[in-house]
Structure 1
Amino acid sequence: MNDVVKYNEAADAANRPVIDFLFEEFQQALPTASFKVWHGAPVFFLDDIPVVGYQDHKHGVKVLFWSGKDFSEPALLGIGKHRAAGITYTDVATINVEDLRRYLRLSAEIIWDYRSLRLKK
């Protein structure tokens, strides 16, 4: 069984619907991406570069877009010193699907390759 499936199944029961929804959306939006548990959470990769991931937390599911600061999306909050930004979802009903799909599209278009610190387009 895939390590991401195991992660999803072990998630907090309150967050499980959000995690299941995100997992399906990520797979649909990024059909060529590989995914694995990386640094303790599911992460989707394009050309071995991390682009988006999520993590089960006590107060919801945190979604991280590795190049999210460059999306110019006000709902995404900057995280750390590099280009990452994220959003937390607490319920499937609160997810703006149109926004999420736009973020996922942008995550495939704007990719910072942290190994060489350059923007790939």
Structure 2
Amino acid sequence: MSDVVKYNEAVTGENKPVIDFLFQEFLQALPTATYKVWHGAPVWFLDDIPIVGYEDHKLGVKVLFWSGKDFSEPGLIGIGKHRAAGITYTDVASIKVDDLRRYLRLSTEIIWDYRSLRPKK
């Protein structure tokens, strides 16, 4: 059993259906991506570059797109100083499936390569 499946099974309460829905959508939209629990949450990778992940939170399930600011999508909120953006889902009914699928497609087309970032000296 993968560590992501174990993570998903450990989620209880109102976020469980959202986690299960997102997992299936991510698998369908990202068939060539690898995934694992990374920094405590499920993350999908293309060529070892993180592109999207989700995390169970008290206020819903947070989805993070590592290059999301570059998607130019009004439904995503910028996070941090780099290129990440995200959205929080409180229940399955709050997920606009067409938007989610577009974000997932964009996550495979617009990829900010964090491996090439070098710390300033």
TM-score of the two chains, using structure 2 as the length reference: 0.95
Segments of structure 1 that go 5 or more residues without pairing to the other structure are: none
Equivalent-residue separation in structure 1 for 2:49 and 2:64 (angstroms): 14
Query: 1:12, CA displacement in angstroms?
Result: 2.8
Equivalent-residue separation in structure 1 for 2:12 and 2:61 (angstroms): 10
Q: Report what 1:53 is aligned to.
A: 53
Kindly indicate whether residue 24 of structure 2 is the aligned counterpart of residue 24 of structure 1. yes
1:39-78 → structure 2 map (5 Å cutoff): 39-78=39-78
Normalized per residue, which structure has more helix? 2
Segments of structure 2 that go 5 or more residues without pairing to the other structure are: none
Equivalent-residue separation in structure 1 for 2:13 and 2:5 (angstroms): 14
Q: How many residues align?
A: 117
**Structure 2 SS opposite 1:75:** coil
Q: Report what 2:96 is aligned to.
A: 96
Query: 1:14, CA displacement in angstroms?
Result: 1.1
Normalized per residue, which structure has more strand? 1
Q: Structure 1 runs of 4+ off > 2 angstroms?
A: none
C-alpha RMSD of the superposition: 0.6
Q: Report what 1:85 is aligned to.
A: 85
